[in-house]
Structure 1
């Protein structure tokens, strides 16, 4: 279908703007990630299932992860998570989800079927280290509001934080690096505390960054706030930011091209990050 965005709406015959920016009428367009602002009208997108507070374990025993997200019919009562190619592994004697990245692949993404508008969201992650490998923990809405932790390059002592409003990265001005201890060898709890007035990023329960809504304002009298404020899905992913098909600035951000001939890669056949658990605590009672 034709391309769509917040500024270019879909036609009536292909009314839904997918999360990838194309119009269509099928469930791949109108369900998870549907952009209401880029659709023919907001009601073209399926209703967003509201978050349920709880702790979710990513292990081999769970039956509430759908292994092929394209099969999802929109029923959040049946599945909590949707994902792409995945391996279930055991790390540190604890069950964990292996987010794998192989040469020529799109990596692995796991996304919640429900969305949260304000709350505490945590994930326990051990992230791969190496040039060009990017692991992310993100809150992402259909209108591309986004709050994130990102892990890349071969530095294991830092993580990147950022937030975006309606998909406008604004030159990555919102980005800020924070300290993490040996993120590739140890699991850490990464948390967003998101309220209508503020976003805080925490590592192992310790605040490492805070941004207020007022910090994002521009203009004196008629203020515009570049502050995420639409229901967002929880997403963990790994992908090749240092791939040959990526722009130079993205490859540079990720620490350079991926080494597909490293001893780690040759031994496993993939690079891997691991997710153990996710915890969601909504500040609002559904419906929003």
Structure 2
């Protein structure tokens, strides 16, 4: 292997040991050092984000978990299991500027709480807090993604970073970069001291607030050592952020890289209001009560009058319906009373005629569904004709069982034979009519029962 290759491999291994974990997590969708990339949406203003409630819509992106908001403690970023890296990242960029974050770091060995600026070319500015080190905060920076483990520095924090909120501020211009702790200047970086300005952060930045596991077992040993040791995932670890003030020192709609140099001189500013500015200053839609209170007095009077007219019409309709139903009920009640009176008069008449209402009994015959015959009338002891008791005296018995003459049938087997074979055997005997009217007793084959059409040959 060539000597140059050995040197590059050694440099890579060295970097993997001493690389900042935060920088290792950063990425860019399009790096302007290598390609022509879309413009970055600008903040173009200053704003205080209070995290006692959800921030304005479309201003921050949430990744790798959830953030809980509380009026007293602010935003809670909680790591509950391996792989959690709860992070809020702004959808806007600022081009030189200032941030002030009121933060309480998460406890736990290997747990890192962080305030990070990052650009598309991987310029970076950090405040970091190691959960295993309760007394110090850690400042760092990178230029164009170049790893340099000598860029970081530890700073003592009065009262510690885990038990209370502290103000962590960065102020950034093209002349210098400053880290402030609770209003006290802690560190200053000049461009000439950052690889002769080449590694000086100088391109539009976005803000990220998040918690992550520097001591994850899958991380490199150098990262684990830097973080202080392995993370214990058996218990949750929470970072709290009450507020973040962000000020963009430039004003405009968006920032564009005009070349691939990655210098601040290459950044072009488009004038106008940014999307972030519009979202932050968007007036929330008013409630109905608020809209009503803003109406002129004359308009309110007109609405009241119209509502009163409609109410009067409805009331009149209800009154009309009420009286109509009441009249109908009275008519029905009167008709029922009239019917009752008629029945009473009829009953009185019946009583005056000597009738006994209690002795009333049904005097007709009741049909028997089983035999098809009439049952015994109420109040009678005789059995009806055809019953098992036999026919009453002097009544017609169609069965002949009582000795009475049975009525001859109009059609019997003789009639059937004659009908089917005319001329064979004696003619059936047909009873004489009881009427005195003349009867035509003549017979012709054409009138024979059961025949239609031509009689045919004989």
Equivalent of 1:271 in 234, 237, 258: 237
Q: Which runs of 5+ in 1 are unaligned?
A: 1-18, 22-28, 65-78, 219-223
1:10 is matched with none
- Kept after mapping to 2: 8 A contact 1:60/1:95: no
Point out where structure 2 has 5 or more consecutive residues left out of the alignment. Answer: 1-25, 255-268, 270-458
Q: Classify 1:60/1:167 alpha carbon distance in 2 versus 1 (closer, same or farther; 3 Å).
A: same
**Pairwise CA distance, 1:100:** 1.3
Tell me if structure 2 keeps the 8 A contact 1:161–1:176: yes
Q: State the distance in 2 between where 1:283 and 1:153 align.
A: 33
Distance 1:63-1:114 versus aligned 2 partners, 3 A rule: closer
Q: CA deviation at 1:110?
A: 0.5
- In structure 1, distance between residues paired with 2:218 and 2:167: 32
Quick check: 1:247 aligned with 2:220? yes
- Post-superposition Cα deviations, 1:198-224, rounded to whole Å, max 9, x if no partner, equal 110001111111111121134xxxxx5
CA deviation profile, 1:234-285 (whole Å, cap 9, x unmatched): 0111111101110000000000001224xxx1xxxx2110111111122222
Aligned with 2:67 (options 77, 87, 102): 87
CA distance, structure 1, for counterparts of residue 54 and residue 27 of structure 2: 31
Deviation sequence 1:85-138 (CA, Å, 0-9, x none): 223143xx6151111112222320101111111111111111112211011101
Secondary structure class of the residue paired with 1:253: helix
1:50 and 2:28 matched: no
* Residues in 1 aligned to 2:246 and 2:168: alpha-carbon distance in whole angstroms: 12
Q: 1-side partners of 2:187 and 2:193: how far apart?
A: 13
Q: Does the C-alpha gap of structure 1 residues 282 and 238 become closer, same or farther in structure 2, counting only changes over 3 Å?
A: same
* Matched residue count: 226
Q: Report what 2:425 is aligned to.
A: none
In the other structure, the counterpart of 1:20 is: 27
Superposition RMSD in Å: 1.7
Flag the structure with higher strand content: 1
CA drift of 1:184 comes to: 0.9
2-structure distance, mates of 1:197, 1:163: 15
Aligned equivalents of 2:232, 2:87: Cα separation in 1: 21
Aligned to 1:236: 209
Deviations 1:160-215 (A, max 9, x none): 10110011122x11111111132111111111100101110001111111111121
- TM, length-normalised to structure 1: 0.74
- Looking at structure 2, the residues matched to 63 and 129 of structure 1 have their Cα atoms a distance apart, in angstroms, of 29
Structure 1 residue 209 corresponds to structure 2 residue 175: no
Distance 2:199 2:106 in 1: 31
Within 5 Å, give how 1:7-156 maps onto structure 2: 20=27, 29=29, 34-38=30-34, 41-42=35-36, 45-51=37-43, 52-64=45-57, 79-84=58-63, 85-90=65-70, 94-156=72-134
- From the superposition, tell whether residues 37 and 106 of structure 1 become closer, same or farther in structure 2 (CA, over 3 Å): farther
State the shift of 1:61 in Å.
4.5
Q: Note if 1:280 corresponds to 2:246.
A: yes
Match of 2:152 among 175, 195, 203: 175
Aligned with 1:131: secondary structure?
coil
Flag the structure with more relative contact order, 1 or 2, with Cα contacts below 8 A and sequence separation at least 6: 1
Quote the Cα distance in structure 1 between the aligned partners of 2:124 and 2:220: 21
